[in-house]
């Protein structure tokens, strides 16, 4: 559906894209995840025809896009700051892509009005057509931008940090709604984010980018279970790096019991430990409860082990109190040679 081969792009001597390969299947919802400056927005813009790679190929539905200008690619693009046309009403914004078509392909007046109303209903903004963008909230503007992008009936939807400018609650609502919309309309979507929760929760597959390259492209489960390298492991799942030594198929820690690790060569190593990897239970041990806080998801527990502060999961039924001694078991770890 979308395929990128060996994409290179340099900005004044700095490689923004340094050999990107990526292939999306039809109907997939894919996240481009990475820190700022990792090249994810540049890649997205290259797909839309807003950046021009120095080398490599972009194929959309099997067609080489090198000579195809942005206006003929027929992709939907939602900008990070929405880029709505401020002097136009919401209705005119959404109708824009239809009204500018050449005479032969342009729908009639009533047909355009019908389509716009339909899109307004789809993005849950019925009756808002006469407003101007600056009379809308951030979440509403985002949905107008989406409706405007969908008006030209794209098969491919590209979104640049679609939830970046929204507050936490609106962001969560919109996430699920967007995913639902994608499934309903049968789109192939690619969205850029620096928020790993968003990527892991929403996407079928996540492409992790670093230094202009895709370092790993996999399902969220696979990414969490088997990160390609220490960088990915540290980026995902709130993992904390802890020094260890690998010997006889086990990783040995200071202050923590050893854990089985397979396929790691012996010697000094770094283990990435997530809160779900550490099980804490009441009883005499080397660890101590540093903080325990109740929130909507359960108890958030921080334990102190050998001078380190680690987040851990308490055993069910135990209500940890600050300063209490406890025992910590390592259930799993992703270990990379140091």
Partner 1 sequence: MRRRSALPGLGLALGVTWLWLGLIVLVPLAALVLRPWELGLAGVWASVTEPRVVAALGLSFGAALGAALVDLPLGLLIAWVVVRYRFPGRRVLDAAIDLPFALPTAVAGLALTALYAPNGWLGAPLAAMGVTVAFTPLGVAVALAFVGLPFVVRMVEPVLRDLGPEAEEAAAVLGATRWQAWRRVVLPALGPALVSGVALAFARAVGEYGSVIFIAGNRPMESEIAPLLIVARLEQYDYAGAAALGLAMLLLSFAFLLVFGVMQRRLRRGVM
Question: Does 149 contact partner 1 by CB under 8 A?
Answer: yes
Question: Does 72 contact partner 1 by CB under 8 A?
Answer: yes
Question: Does 13 contact partner 1 by CB under 8 A?
Answer: no
- Distance separating alpha carbons of residues 78 and 141, to the nearest angstrom: 11
**For 33, phi and psi rounded to 5 degrees?**
-110, 135
Q: Considering the complex, what minimum distance in angstroms separates the CB of residue 148 from partner 1? A: 7
Question: Does 165 contact partner 1 by CB under 8 A?
Answer: no
Q: Name the residue nearer to partner 1 (CB basis): 25 or 85.
A: 85
- Residue 282's DSSP bridge partners are 326
Q: Name the residue nearer to partner 1 (CB basis): 92 or 197.
A: 92
Q: 318-337 mask for partner 1 (x: CB under 8 A)? A: --------------------
Q: Considering the complex, what minimum distance in angstroms separates the CB of residue 283 from partner 1? A: 59
Question: Does 148 contact partner 1 by CB under 8 A?
Answer: yes
Query: How many chain residues are in contact with partner 1, going by CB under 8 A?
Result: 29
Question: Does 69 contact partner 1 by CB under 8 A?
Answer: yes
Question: Does 49 contact partner 1 by CB under 8 A?
Answer: yes
Question: Does 151 contact partner 1 by CB under 8 A?
Answer: yes
Q: Is 305 helix (H, G, I), strand (E, B) or coil?
A: strand
Q: Which two tokens stand for residue 131?
A: 């407003």
Q: Considering the complex, what minimum distance in angstroms separates the CB of residue 196 from partner 1? A: 26
Question: Does 77 contact partner 1 by CB under 8 A?
Answer: yes
Q: Give yes or no for a contact between 84 and 133, defined as CB atoms under 8 angstroms apart.
A: yes
Question: Does 88 contact partner 1 by CB under 8 A?
Answer: yes
Q: Give yes or no for a contact between 157 and 189, defined as CB atoms under 8 angstroms apart.
A: yes
**For 195, phi and psi rounded to 5 degrees?**
-100, 110
Q: b/e map of 57-70 (b: 16 or more CB within 10 Å)?
A: ebebeeeebeeeee
Long-range CB pairs of 111-116 (<8 Å, 24+ gap) are: 115/151, 116/91, 116/147, 116/151
Selected range binding partner 1 among 31-39, 67-75, 161-169, 256-264, rule: CB under 8 A: 67-75
Q: Which two tokens stand for residue 152?
A: 């030209």
Selected range binding partner 1 among 27-35, 47-55, 191-199, 238-246, rule: CB under 8 A: 47-55
Q: Give yes or no for a contact between 232 and 206, defined as CB atoms under 8 angstroms apart.
A: no
- Distance separating alpha carbons of residues 48 and 137, to the nearest angstrom: 27
Question: Does 103 contact partner 1 by CB under 8 A?
Answer: no
Question: Does 132 contact partner 1 by CB under 8 A?
Answer: yes
Question: Does 71 contact partner 1 by CB under 8 A?
Answer: yes
Which residues does 135 contact at the CB level (< 8 Å), separation at least 6? Answer: none
- Out of 53, 97, 285, 314, the only residue in the binding site for partner 1 (CB under 8 A) is 97
Q: Give yes or no for a contact between 287 and 326, defined as CB atoms under 8 angstroms apart.
A: yes
Binding residues (CB under 8 A) for partner 1: these are 48-50, 69-77, 79, 81, 83-88, 96-97, 100-101, 132, 148-149, 151-152
């Amino acid at each position: 559906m979308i395929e990128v081969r060996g994409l290179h792009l340099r900005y004044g001597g700095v490689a923004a894209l340094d050999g990107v390969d990526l292939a999306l299947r039809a109907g997939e919802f894919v996240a481009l995840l990475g820190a700022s400056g990792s090249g994810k927005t540049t890649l997205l813009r290259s797909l839309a025809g807003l950046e021009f790679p120095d080398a490599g190929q972009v194929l959309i539905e099997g067609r080489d896009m090198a000579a195809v200008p942005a206006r003929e690619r027929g992709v939907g693009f939602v900008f990070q700051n929405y880029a709505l046309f401020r002097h136009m009403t919401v209705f005119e914004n959404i109708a824009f892509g239809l009204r500018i078509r050449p005479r032969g392909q342009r729908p009639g007046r009533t047909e355009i009005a019908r389509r716009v109303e339909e899109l307004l209903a789809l993005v849950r903004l019925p009756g808002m057509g006469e407003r101007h963008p600056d009379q809308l909230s951030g979440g509403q503007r985002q949905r107008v931008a989406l409706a405007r992008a969908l008006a030209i009936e794209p098969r491919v939807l590209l979104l640049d940090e679609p939830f970046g400018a929204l507050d936490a609650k609106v962001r969560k609502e919109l996430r699920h709604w967007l995913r639902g919309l994608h499934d309903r309309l049968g789109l192939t979507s690619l969205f850029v984010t620096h928020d790993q929760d968003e990527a892991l929760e929403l996407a079928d597959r996540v492409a992790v980018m670093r230094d202009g390259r895709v370092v790993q492209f996999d399902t969220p489960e696979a990414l969490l279970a088997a990160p390609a390298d220490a960088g990915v492991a540290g980026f995902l799942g709130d993992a904390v790096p802890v020094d260890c030594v690998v010997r006889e198929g086990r990783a040995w820690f200071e202050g923590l019991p050893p854990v089985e690790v397979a396929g790691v060569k012996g010697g000094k190593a770094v283990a990435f430990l997530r809160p779900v990897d550490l099980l804490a239970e009441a009883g005499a041990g080397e660890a101590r409860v540093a903080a325990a806080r109740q929130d909507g998801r359960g108890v958030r527990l921080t334990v102190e082990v050998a001078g380190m502060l680690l987040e851990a999961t308490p055993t069910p039924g135990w209500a940890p109190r600050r300063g209490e001694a406890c025992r910590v078991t390592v259930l799993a770890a992703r270990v990379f040679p140091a």
